[in-house]
């Protein structure tokens, strides 16, 4: 529960009802009687002299005033949390909260180890990890709902600061015994001669591939299209086909000698830019700043650029 709610139980009730769209569901999540929630909301509306919710046959909906209130509540949450973190900085990094947005590529391996490392050094720090695509991550960083974003480089904006940017190689992922494993580079159209595993159309990498060779990927019938990085890796490990993936998606398998990453030679699909983002002009609280420093220090390695020839 955000620390700000300790100052006003009403704000917690109001936000939960706004999110759930129902007094009953909000009361269940808050573990209190629906009548208590209704009483709090009614009293506050009377004090303000304005309705915050429109009562519907099956739930409630925010009025224009309610929308403004919700935005204010969330802004107050962020500001109060940052205040507490700044105060705690005077006593040393003993507690704090970090909100980070990452791509699915990074969520199942890199993030758990990073959180474990931070927890060993600073047991009082807690984390929110939001998994999303690059556009969503950039927007949440821009609005202040995330402290840090780790995603493909978003379009330029005055509200986003790119702390670090590094290219990540794109290539064909194959078993060590595959004929392509001996190649230093391979064209995307050559991969089409094998059972092919591709990301789905909403993923950034697939959109890049769709632009190659007059949309060749649109004329291919792949063995599998999926937004699951785990499924793509597993099918290649099982010998079912070859996958087009970034190198950082298979770093552990490369290290164990289980898979080989053969970079694409296509001019417009050799790499994607991985960026570390914060909100421009914002001084991060101590805990997010500590995590940002760790991310900066290991950024090349996270992108799969530490050592090796790129396979």
Q: Find the range with the poorest average confidence among 40-49, 69-78, 207-216, 257-266.
A: 207-216
pLDDT score for 209: 86
Q: What is the DSSP string of 208-246?
A: HHHTGGGTGGGG---SEEES-HHHHHHHHHTTS-EEEEE
Strands 160-174 and 59-62: unpaired
Domain layout of the chain by residue ranges: 3-73, 79-166+273-302, 167-271
Whose tokens are 């629906």? That residue is 34
**pLDDT-derived band at 86, boundaries 50, 70, 90:** low
Which CATH number is 167-271's, of 3.40.190.10, 3.40.1190.20, 3.40.50.2000, 3.40.50.300? 3.40.190.10
Same topology, domains 3-73 and 79-166+273-302? Answer is no
With a cut of 80, say whether residue 93 has pLDDT above it.
no
User: Could you tell me which residues come within 8 angstroms of residue 192 by beta carbon, excluding any fewer than 6 positions away?
Assistant: 216, 220
What mean pLDDT is predicted for residues 205-231? Answer: 79
Residue 167 phi, psi (nearest 5): -75, 140
**pLDDT-derived band at 47, boundaries 50, 70, 90:** confident
| Most confidently modeled range among 28-42, 88-102, 118-132, 246-260 | 246-260
What is the share, in percent, of the chain residues with pLDDT greater than 90?
41
pLDDT score for 3: 46
Provide the mean pLDDT of the chain: 85
With a cut of 50, say whether residue 63 has pLDDT above it.
yes
With a cut of 60, say whether residue 51 has pLDDT above it.
yes
Q: Are 273 and 167 in contact (CB under 8 A)?
A: yes
With a cut of 50, say whether residue 2 has pLDDT above it.
no
With a cut of 60, say whether residue 308 has pLDDT above it.
no
> Residue 307 belongs to what H/E stretch?
none
What pTM, to 2 d.p., does this model score? Answer: 0.65
With a cut of 80, say whether residue 20 has pLDDT above it.
yes
What is the C-alpha to C-alpha distance for residues 119 and 138, in angstroms, rounded to an integer? 26
CATH architecture observed for domain 79-166+273-302? 3-Layer(aba) Sandwich (3.40)
Tell me the pLDDT tens digit for each residue of 250-283: 988 999 999 999 999 988 888 999 999 999 988 8
Tell me the pLDDT tens digit for each residue of 157-185: 878 999 999 999 999 999 999 999 999 99
What mean pLDDT is predicted for residues 87-109? Answer: 77
> Residue 254 belongs to what H/E stretch?
helix 251-255
With a cut of 60, say whether residue 306 has pLDDT above it.
no
Which CATH number is 3-73's, of 3.40.50.10070, 3.40.640.10, 3.40.630.10, 1.10.10.10? 1.10.10.10
pLDDT score for 310: 37
């Amino acid at each position: 529960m955000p620390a700000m709610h300790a100052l006003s139980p009403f704000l917690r009730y109001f936000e939960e009802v706004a999110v759930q769209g129902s007094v009953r569901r909000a009361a269940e999540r808050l573990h209190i009687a629906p009548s208590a929630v209704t009483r709090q909301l009614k009293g506050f509306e009377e004090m303000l002299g304005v309705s915050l919710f429109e009562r519907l046959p099956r739930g409630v909906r925010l009025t224009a005033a309610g929308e403004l209130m919700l935005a204010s509540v969330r802004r107050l949450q962020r500001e109060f949390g940052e205040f507490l973190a700044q105060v705690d900085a005077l006593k040393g990094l003993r507690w704090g909260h970090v909100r980070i947005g990452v791509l699915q590529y990074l969520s199942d391996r890199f993030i758990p180890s990073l959180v474990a490392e931070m927890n060993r050094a600073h047991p009082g720090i807690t984390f929110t990890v939001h998994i999303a695509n690059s556009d969503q991550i950039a927007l949440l960083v821009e609005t202040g709902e995330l402290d840090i974003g780790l995603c493909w480089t978003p379009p330029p904006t005055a509200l986003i600061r790119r702390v670090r940017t590094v290219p990540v190689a794109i290539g064909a992922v194959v078993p060590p015994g595959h004929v392509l494993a001996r190649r230093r580079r391979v064209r995307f159209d050559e991969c089409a001669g094998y059972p092919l595993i591709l990301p789905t159309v909403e993923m950034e990498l697939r959109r890049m591939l769709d632009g190659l060779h007059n949309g060749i990927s649109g004329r291919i019938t792949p063995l599998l299209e999926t937004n699951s990085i785990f499924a793509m890796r597993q099918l290649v490990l099982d010998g079912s086909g070859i996958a087009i993936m970034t190198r950082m998606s298979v770093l552990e398998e490369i290290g164990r000698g289980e898979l080989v990453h053969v970079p694409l030679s296509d001019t417009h699909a050799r790499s994607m830019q991985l960026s570390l983002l914060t909100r421009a002009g914002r001084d991060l609280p101590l805990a997010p700043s500590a995590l940002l420093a760790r991310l900066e220090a290991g950024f090349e390695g996270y992108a799969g650029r530490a050592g090796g020839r790129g396979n």
